[in-house]
Structure 1
Amino acid sequence: MDTRWLQDFLTLAEVRNFTRAAELRNLSQAAFSRRIQGLEQWLGARLIDRNAFPTALTEAGELFRDTAADIIAKMSTARTEIAASQDRDQIRLALPYALATTRLPGWWKAWTGGQRVGCKLELGNIHDIVSALIAGSADLLICFQQAAQPVPIDAERYERLVLGTEIIRPYAARSEVEAGRIALPGSAAAPVPLLMYSTTVYFARLVDTVIENAPEKIHGFRAFETELSDAMADLAAGGLGVAWLPESSFGPNRTWDLVALGNGRWDTEVSICAYKEKNNQRPVVARLWQSIERELSLAEAG
């Protein structure tokens, strides 16, 4: 049995809707349904009453719900305790590649204050890094979050700190814009090549929403799709289309010759949040969390 099936089942038990549960688990509804069926086959019992509306648990499902939650909690505790015994001064940090390559170096220097604290990075898409936190393989999660596209994290189980915000806006190569070859919103006769994020990336949802709610209809086609914002910036710099990139992509060591498009009409703001399980008792984690809180307080006071 795949332990992710238990997390799938608990999500469905909470929201009572296959479509919504699949979205929260970042799966297609077909894939999500197959995993629930796989769990039922492994147990030899029906857990979901598919004739009820809204979706309801069977008697067996209600009995198994507490067991599944207990298994997940015990596995998380065991992994935390084992990791604590092996890596007492190491933080296990899950975050997207876009933050690891831009914001993390400055954050880490400020948070650790020169102390020797090890860090094991787990990089991935939003589903992978959230799963790492929930499964207990990460002490901290740092991710992007927007109210319209919430991250499925239980507020009663996890603490949250807002580290800052990012503006995500469309960019294109300066040479292409100045030559008039790329401009938003494009037209039916001359659609704009769009550089889009893969569906597993959190930014994909944000950019899709921006395009859907745009003040003017964007005429474009998906020229490229990728998980990495750096790869997208490289493609945009090469004149291959329009890419939505966070402000932090443009650090001192990043020399893409890109210009922003639209004068804010196709921008969107997203928060950067840190999460920690309230029951995580590792001293090194508690110290780092307190340091983050202190840095945020100093920034607010300044």
Structure 2
Amino acid sequence: MDLRRLRYFAVLAEELHFTRAAGRLRIAQPALSQQIRALEQELGAALIDRGGRGCALTPIGRLVADEASALLAQAAAARERIDAAVRGQGGRIRLAYTRSARGGRVDALVARFRAENPYVEVLAETGWTAPNVAGLLAGRLDVAFVRPPVTEPGLRCRFVDTEELLLAVPADHPLARRRAIPRELAAGEPAVMWPRENGPGMYDRIVGQVWPRGGFNLVRHEPDDEQLLRAVAGGAVVAAVPAGRARALRVPRVRLRRFTAPVPTVDIALAYPAQADNPAVMRLLALLE
């Protein structure tokens, strides 16, 4: 279907007057009439009821007007994407978030990238650090938010943020009455944690900071932070969780308590292949400089 004829018809459908539509299009009225008749012949249906002082759309004309607007908008957007690619501003980036780090600087970074690169298609998903690393190594992902340390030699990491670890305790637990919890009081408490294979580096860092002298009494596994907190709400276990995620979830009957100094922390980083050559990835990384 001729997009020029569709554009002419879309303007006529708005004006419902050949002279005014021709003026907007900056063409002669007979030329507009000729193009509309050619479109009607192409479609095999009348689109316009022509009157002495104006015109009206036929039922088919109203349908074509709606479809024409959608097609023209799609064509214009496609042209913008093509032009952006030619100027080096387009492309695609396959990105993975990590489940324990949404919000804060992570979401702000991606939002800024989208705003500054409107013609880059962002294909986003969410996973644990270990699957995200596997996706990068397999070439399925271009960048991924991860919880360091990440030691794979084929990947590089850029620091994004640090957040505090809190101890989640049941609302009626004696530790809930404290404003800050010494590590020795957490030792031996029945604890819930997600499986180590989800993110070995972060798992070991949490255990090493919260239970540095032993006493990590793991009694239960849950798949993610939300389920950890729900297990804590049940009243039988405690959990060490990143502050941002824990405060965002706001699970009832759970109290979040800080540790005494030194405050335990976990980092969030943006990982990417060492040989990355995707211009969109380079622009995302540049926002971290």
Shorter-chain TM-score: which interval?
0.5 to 0.7
Conservation of the 8 A alpha-carbon contact between 2:226 and 2:249: no
Q: Do the aligned partners of residues 278 and 187 (structure 1) sit closer, same or farther apart at CA in structure 2, a change above 3 Å counting?
A: closer
Matched, 1:208 2:185: no
Counterpart CA distance in 2 for 1:271 and 1:248 is: 12
Measured against aligned partners, the alpha-carbon deviations of 1:40-90 in whole angstroms (never above 9, x if no partner) come to xxxxxxxxxxxxxxxxxxxxxxxxxxxxxxxxxxxxxxxxxxxx9xxx643
Alignment of 1:16-27 (within 5 A): none
**Structure 2 residue aligned with 1:242:** 238
Tell me which structure has the larger Cα radius of gyration: 2
Picking from 105, 108, 113, the partner of 2:107 is 105
- Paired residue secondary structure (2:276): coil
**Structure 2 residue aligned with 1:288:** 284
**Once the 2 structures are TM-superposed, how far is the Cα of residue 162 of structure 1 from its aligned partner?**
0.9
**Structure 1 residue aligned with 2:6:** none
**Structure 2 residue aligned with 1:273:** 269
Measured against aligned partners, the alpha-carbon deviations of 1:86-109 in whole angstroms (never above 9, x if no partner) come to xx6432113421124665433321
Conservation of the 8 A alpha-carbon contact between 1:163 and 1:272: yes
**Structure 1 residue aligned with 2:123:** 120
Counterpart CA distance in 1 for 2:195 and 2:274 is: 32
Q: Do the aligned partners of residues 105 and 164 (structure 1) sit closer, same or farther apart at CA in structure 2, a change above 3 Å counting?
A: closer
User: Which residue type is aligned with residue 127 of structure 2?
Assistant: G
- Paired residue secondary structure (2:161): strand
Conservation of the 8 A alpha-carbon contact between 2:169 and 2:255: yes
**Once the 2 structures are TM-superposed, how far is the Cα of residue 274 of structure 1 from its aligned partner?**
1.2
**Structure 1 residue aligned with 2:17:** none
**Structure 2 residue aligned with 1:161:** 158
Measured against aligned partners, the alpha-carbon deviations of 1:173-215 in whole angstroms (never above 9, x if no partner) come to 33323677xx874699xx522112212132322233235523x
Matched, 1:194 2:183: no
Counterpart CA distance in 2 for 1:144 and 1:165 is: 10
User: Which residue type is aligned with residue 278 of structure 2?
Assistant: R
Q: Unaligned stretches of 5+ in structure 2?
A: 1-84
Q: Do the aligned partners of residues 177 and 107 (structure 1) sit closer, same or farther apart at CA in structure 2, a change above 3 Å counting?
A: farther
User: Which residue type is aligned with residue 124 of structure 2?
Assistant: L
Q: Do the aligned partners of residues 234 and 287 (structure 1) sit closer, same or farther apart at CA in structure 2, a change above 3 Å counting?
A: same
- Paired residue secondary structure (2:236): coil
- Paired residue secondary structure (1:169): strand
Picking from 140, 148, 161, the partner of 1:137 is 140
Picking from 151, 165, 174, the partner of 1:177 is 174
Q: Do the aligned partners of residues 276 and 199 (structure 1) sit closer, same or farther apart at CA in structure 2, a change above 3 Å counting?
A: closer
Conservation of the 8 A alpha-carbon contact between 1:102 and 1:251: no
Pairs aligned (count): 194
Question: TM-score when scaled to structure 2?
Answer: 0.55
Counterpart CA distance in 1 for 2:206 and 2:109 is: 26
Q: Do the aligned partners of residues 100 and 178 (structure 1) sit closer, same or farther apart at CA in structure 2, a change above 3 Å counting?
A: closer
- Report the identity percentage: 18
Counterpart CA distance in 2 for 1:269 and 1:212 is: 13
**Once the 2 structures are TM-superposed, how far is the Cα of residue 167 of structure 1 from its aligned partner?**
1.8
**Once the 2 structures are TM-superposed, how far is the Cα of residue 244 of structure 1 from its aligned partner?**
0.5
RMSD: 3.4
Conservation of the 8 A alpha-carbon contact between 2:162 and 2:266: yes
User: Which residue type is aligned with residue 229 of structure 1?
Assistant: D
**Once the 2 structures are TM-superposed, how far is the Cα of residue 224 of structure 1 from its aligned partner?**
2.0
**Structure 2 residue aligned with 1:263:** 260
Q: Do the aligned partners of residues 116 and 248 (structure 1) sit closer, same or farther apart at CA in structure 2, a change above 3 Å counting?
A: farther
User: Which residue type is aligned with residue 209 of structure 1?
Assistant: G
Counterpart CA distance in 1 for 2:131 and 2:163 is: 21
Conservation of the 8 A alpha-carbon contact between 2:168 and 2:256: yes
Measured against aligned partners, the alpha-carbon deviations of 1:235-282 in whole angstroms (never above 9, x if no partner) come to 2233232111111114456355423154246x5222221122343332
Conservation of the 8 A alpha-carbon contact between 1:193 and 1:242: yes
Conservation of the 8 A alpha-carbon contact between 1:169 and 1:264: no
User: Which residue type is aligned with residue 206 of structure 1?
Assistant: R
